[in-house]
Amino acid sequence: MFERRWGNCIRIEIPFTIHNQDCHPEAPWIVLCNGLFAGQGSWQAVVEKLKPFFKVVTWDGRGQGGSPGWPEIYPLAMQVEDLKSVVGKLSLPRDQRVCVLGLSNGGRVALEFARRYSSFVSHLIIADTYGELTPLLKLKLQSWLKASEIGGAKLRFDVATPWVFGESFVAEYPELIQSYRAHAETIGPEVTASLIQGAMDSKIELEKISTKTLVLVGEEDLLTPFALHLAMVKRMSDAKLEIIKGGHASLLEFPESIDEFVLPFLKEDLI
């Protein structure tokens, strides 16, 4: 890991992992984009479901997982360019495109990447995300920021958790919630602020996204509920909406939705 100057900003080497790269050479690629405070490890169960069919790529944006902390606002445009740098290192043939799957803030990254670089993307899957910051969603995210300023990582986690996880998941896996709470302490306050402020940046021009898209929303998602996703789909030219199990972290809570919804969507054209 190292940093290098590029113009007036600092570029960093974004860590990424290629899973199952020894599979059939013509297997399609799928790139997974993390939720706001998650790292590559959050996708473990999802990766296992995708590996039989895809070369799977996970990566950590600035302030996530194996990337260095980022004490400044991490705007959506920079996140998209970091994703582009990862895709560029896959050494794909000129005519080969990738599928992109993004959860929560990673869904925003996937959407904007498809808007800017449609020639790189064959299919788009987004889950529990948003195309613009509504007044209510802004209040929710601001409460996370204020909680971090007042009480640090644990209070931020305690305030955010009821918005992020579904009732059924919290009831079934209380020990996992506690492990996530312990992990929250590893993220410093400056990095926390940079990630949250970045999540409040930019409105995505959804009308300009022509990529074939599957939009998923957890039936218990309180942070970005069904109505937000329905409004997004109505603005996109080739998107369909499905309701799945779980809260705002639906695919991580119930990865069997990969089998039920994601793979059938992709098998129509790729597998």
Banded pLDDT at 2 (limits 50, 70, 90)? very low
Banded pLDDT at 213 (limits 50, 70, 90)? very high
Per-residue pLDDT for 5 more than 80?
no
Among 23-27, 48-52, 163-167, 182-186, which stretch is predicted with the lowest mean pLDDT? Answer: 23-27
The answer to the question of residue 107 being in a domain is: yes
Per-residue pLDDT for 10 more than 80?
no
Q: What is the CATH classification number for the domain harbouring 222? A: 3.40.50.1820
Banded pLDDT at 3 (limits 50, 70, 90)? very low
The answer to the question of residue 89 being in a domain is: yes
Q: How far apart are CA 39 and CA 234, in angstroms?
A: 31
What pLDDT score was predicted for residue 217? 98
Count of domains forming the chain: 1
**DSSP, res 40:** G
Query: How large a percentage of the chain has pLDDT more than 90?
Result: 85
What pLDDT score was predicted for residue 7? 38
What pLDDT score was predicted for residue 129? 98
What pLDDT score was predicted for residue 20? 84
Could you give phi then psi for residue 175, rounded to 5 degrees?
-70, -30
The answer to the question of residue 94 being in a domain is: yes
Residue range(s) defining the domain that contains residue 127: 3-131+202-267
Phi-psi region of 254 (alpha: psi -120 to 50; beta: other; left: phi over 0): beta
pLDDT digits (tens, 9 = 90+) for 151-183: 999 999 999 999 999 999 999 999 999 999 998
pTM equals 0.94
Per-residue pLDDT for 8 more than 50?
no
The HSE-up count of residue 271 (CA atoms within 13 Å, CB side) is 16
Average pLDDT, the chain: 93
The answer to the question of residue 165 being in a domain is: no
Give CA separation, 161 vs 40, 55, 170, 244, in Å. 20, 32, 9, 19
The answer to the question of residue 191 being in a domain is: no
What pLDDT score was predicted for residue 19? 95
What pLDDT score was predicted for residue 50? 97
Q: How far apart are CA 99 and CA 139, in angstroms?
A: 32
Banded pLDDT at 26 (limits 50, 70, 90)? confident
Asked if 61 and 32 count as a contact pair (C-beta separation under 8 A), the reply is: no
Query: How large a percentage of the chain has pLDDT more than 70?
Result: 96
The answer to the question of residue 95 being in a domain is: yes
Banded pLDDT at 4 (limits 50, 70, 90)? very low
Banded pLDDT at 263 (limits 50, 70, 90)? very high
In this prediction, residues 37-62 reach a mean pLDDT of 96
Alpha helices of the chain — where are they, by DSSP H?
Answer: 44-50, 76-88, 105-116, 135-164, 167-172, 174-184, 189-199, 226-235, 250-253, 257, 263-267
What pLDDT score was predicted for residue 271? 66
Per-residue pLDDT for 212 more than 90?
yes
In this prediction, residues 235-256 reach a mean pLDDT of 98
Per-residue pLDDT for 9 more than 80?
no
The answer to the question of residue 210 being in a domain is: yes
Q: Find the largest Cα–Cα distance for the chain.
A: 51
